[in-house]
Structure 1
C-alpha cells in the first residue's frame, strides 16, 4: 500500500512538473499599447469617474492544454494614474488617496488560476496597494490566441474586480456610493 501511495505521489509530481514545463512564457505587450489597467469609481452616485494607469508591466505563463497551471505577475506604476484631469490626478496621487511618493508601485502576483471549459474562470492572488497586501479574486475571460503578422504568438485576457478602498487604508470620505473602486485588466501577451 505504501509503495502504491508513493508511486501515485511521484506520478502526480511528474505530471505537475510536466505541465509547468509545457506552459509558455509571455510578456504583457505594453509597448504596443495592447494592454490596459483601468479603474472606475462612482462620483456621488450619479456617474462614473474613469481612469487608468499609463505605466505598468508584467509576465504570465499559459498553456491552453493546462490553463490552471497559469501564473501572472503585474507591476503598476501608481504615479502614472491618469483620470484626464490634472488637478484631480494630483489629488488622487497625494496623501488622501494613493500617496504615490511613499507607495509608487502596486503589484499583483497570482496564487491560483481556475479556468472553466469555456475559457473563462478566476484568478486569485496577492494584491499590494498603498502598502497593504490583500488576497483578491477576479473573474477572467480569454479573448483569443494565435499567430500575429510578425511571426509571433499572442494570447489575450481580460478581467475585473472590485476593491474596497478602506481595505487598503484609503479612507478619504467620498460618500456612501464611492467606497469601492472597480479595477479592470486587459492584457495581450507575446510568447517569448
Structure 2
C-alpha cells in the first residue's frame, strides 16, 4: 500500500522541472545610471545617462547563476549644463561619436548573506573593456499593482578614468568617478 502511494509521488518529483532563473527587463522609468566626480577637489559634479536598456536573470535558489547586461547610450549623458555635456561627449572624455555605447556584462555574482553582494563583470567604456566589481544591495521583490512582479537592486563602483583612456586633467581629486546603477526589473 505504501509503495503504491509513493511511486506516483517519486515519479512526479523525478519529472518536475527544477527551479529556474527568472528573467527581468529593466524598467527604465524606475531605474537610474548616475555618476559623481569631484570638480577640481572643491565640489561634486553629479550626472546621469538618460538612455539605457538591459536586463538581468536571478534565481533565489541559485543566486550565483545571476546574469546582468546593461547597454548605455553615452550621448545621453546629462549633467544639467549643456556646454559641459558637450565637452564630456567630446574626444577629451567619452568620445561618443566613436563610442556611442557603454556596456556592462556580468561574469560572476556572489551574495554575502546579509542582502549585499558583489557583482563582477566587464565594462566597455570609451572603447576600452575592463573588469569591474560592483557592491550590490538587494532592495526588494514582489508583485506590482498591474499584475506583474518586480525585483530591484542598487549597485556602486568606482572607476579610474585613465583605465578607460580618459586622461583629461581635472586635478588629482578627479581621477576617479563613482558610478551608481539603481535598477528595477519587471519579470518576463
- Scaled by the length of structure 1, the TM-score of the pair is 0.88
Name the CA distance, whole Å, in 2 between partners of 1:104 and 1:135: 20
**How far off is 1:68 after superposition?**
1.4
Q: Does 1:142 align with 2:132?
A: no
Runs of 4+ in 1 over 3 A off after TM superposition: none
Name the CA distance, whole Å, in 1 between partners of 2:111 and 2:184: 18
2:23 to 22, 25, 29: 25
Give the SS at the match of 2:122.
Answer: strand
Give the SS at the match of 2:185.
Answer: strand
Name the CA distance, whole Å, in 2 between partners of 1:57 and 1:188: 11
**How far off is 1:18 after superposition?**
4.8
Q: Does 1:44 align with 2:40?
A: yes
Structure 1 spans left out of the alignment, 5+ residues: 1-16
Give the SS at the match of 2:84.
Answer: helix
Give the SS at the match of 1:171.
Answer: coil
Alpha-carbon deviations, 1:149-176, whole Å to 9, x = none? 0010000000100000000000101100
Name the CA distance, whole Å, in 1 between partners of 2:41 and 2:162: 18
**How far off is 1:88 after superposition?**
0.2
Give the SS at the match of 1:91.
Answer: helix
Structure 2 spans left out of the alignment, 5+ residues: 1-16
Q: Which residue of 2 aligns with 1:78?
A: 74
Give the SS at the match of 1:64.
Answer: coil
Q: Structure 1 123/79 Cα, relative in aligned 2: closer, same or farther at 3 Å? A: same
1:56 to 52, 55, 62: 52
1:89 to 76, 85, 89: 85
Give the SS at the match of 1:173.
Answer: coil
Q: Does 1:173 align with 2:165?
A: no
**Equivalent residues in 2 for 1:5-20 (5 A)?**
18=18
Name the CA distance, whole Å, in 1 between partners of 2:26 and 2:18: 24
Alpha-carbon deviations, 1:89-140, whole Å to 9, x = none? 0000001000000000000000000012122111000100000000110100
Q: Does 1:107 align with 2:71?
A: no
Give the SS at the match of 1:177.
Answer: helix
**Max radius of gyration: which structure?**
2
**Equivalent residues in 2 for 1:118-157 (5 A)?**
118-157=114-153
Q: Which residue of 2 aligns with 1:9?
A: none
